Amino acid sequence: MIKIAELLYRAINRARRALYRAGILQAKRLPVPVISVGGIAAGGSGKTPAVIAIARALSQRGLRVAILTRGYRRSGSGGVVTALDAHQFGDEPVLIKKSVPDVEVIVGKNRYDNAIRNKADVFVLDDGFQHLQLHRDLDVVIDHPGFLREGRSALRDADIVLRRRLEPRVPEYLRGKRVFAFAGLADNQQFFDSLGLTLAATKSFPDHHRYTKAEIEAIKREANAEAIVTTEKDAVKISDSDIIAIPADFVIEPAVLERIIAVAVRR
């Protein structure tokens, strides 16, 4: 059953999109291409790994890439990510910067102003499908179930629709061991199920959870396993060599990546 909050969220976004389609509201345009990566669901679709995969592919073609991201639950004022400090910049911006260090990551709510103040050959708009204030040259949308911010009819505005395809990179030395896994994602069970490991137990936290020292110590006491693992997104908020981070790659077909790259180089 669709919850009332979800219906209200959909209605608001549907109305906003209709105003932009009708030209009543106008998106601001940047002088270089903008590639948006987003989804119709509120979380759990793998948008951050998709942004990393696309930014890496663009950078490997010699383009100067900058990523515009809001930086959810950050404590700092934003700006260019200059340190791998998840508390200051947010966990997702720091994970992006850690994964693609030669790409500039810019944090802040007003992504148009942030782009104008920084130079790039192409901007990647993180979680941008509903950020209609900024014109995009390509809308890449991940179609994945969950708490829908918009109805599926909004997908007609997408240029490329991707299915969620995340592949974790699990170290071979963990195979055959009893492992304790914990995570703070929109859908923790997806992470646990993807590992393909013998799980002694699991523990779930809310999305973007900020771990305290006491919580990490409690996890280590209660684990009763040969290894403790978590996601890379969680690991950037934790400084503990006993906890193993499991990276996950968003798999995008080469032909689709070429379509994305073509948009970045043609303008």
> Could you tell me which of 163, 116, 171, 9 has the C-alpha nearest to residue 155?
163
Rounded Cα distance, 138 and 124, in Å: 10
Residue 76 confidence (pLDDT): 86
Query: Left, alpha or beta for 164 (phi > 0: left; psi -120 to 50: alpha)?
Result: beta
Residue 267 confidence (pLDDT): 59
14 with 143, same domain: the answer is yes
Q: How many CB atoms lie within 10 A of CB 21?
A: 12
Quick check: helix, strand or coil at residue 30? coil
Buried/exposed code over 55-79 (b: 16+ C-beta within 10 A; e: otherwise): bbbbbeeebebbbbbbbeebeeebb
151 with 96, same domain: the answer is yes
20 with 53, same domain: the answer is yes
135 with 200, same domain: the answer is no
Residue 79 confidence (pLDDT): 95
27 with 66, same domain: the answer is yes
Tens digit of pLDDT at every position of the chain (267 positions): 457 888 888 888 889 998 998 899 999 999 999 999 999 988 889 999 999 999 999 999 999 999 999 998 899 889 999 999 999 999 999 999 999 999 999 999 999 999 999 999 999 999 999 999 999 999 999 998 888 888 888 999 999 999 999 999 999 999 999 999 999 999 999 999 999 999 999 999 999 999 999 999 999 999 999 999 999 999 999 989 999 999 999 999 999 999 999 999 975
> Residue 57 is part of which domain span?
4-165+251-266
Residue 6 confidence (pLDDT): 82
Residue 2 confidence (pLDDT): 59
Indicate the number of domains in the chain.
2
193 with 154, same domain: the answer is no
Owner of token pair 């993180």? 126
What are the φ and ψ backbone dihedral angles of 128, each rounded to 5 degrees? -105, 0
Residue 148 confidence (pLDDT): 86
127 with 216, same domain: the answer is no
101 with 159, same domain: the answer is yes
51 with 130, same domain: the answer is yes
Classify strands 104-107 and 178-183 as parallel, antiparallel or unpaired. unpaired
Rounded Cα distance, 197 and 25, in Å: 50
34 with 143, same domain: the answer is yes
30 with 81, same domain: the answer is yes
28 with 158, same domain: the answer is yes
What CATH number corresponds to the domain at position 26? 3.40.50
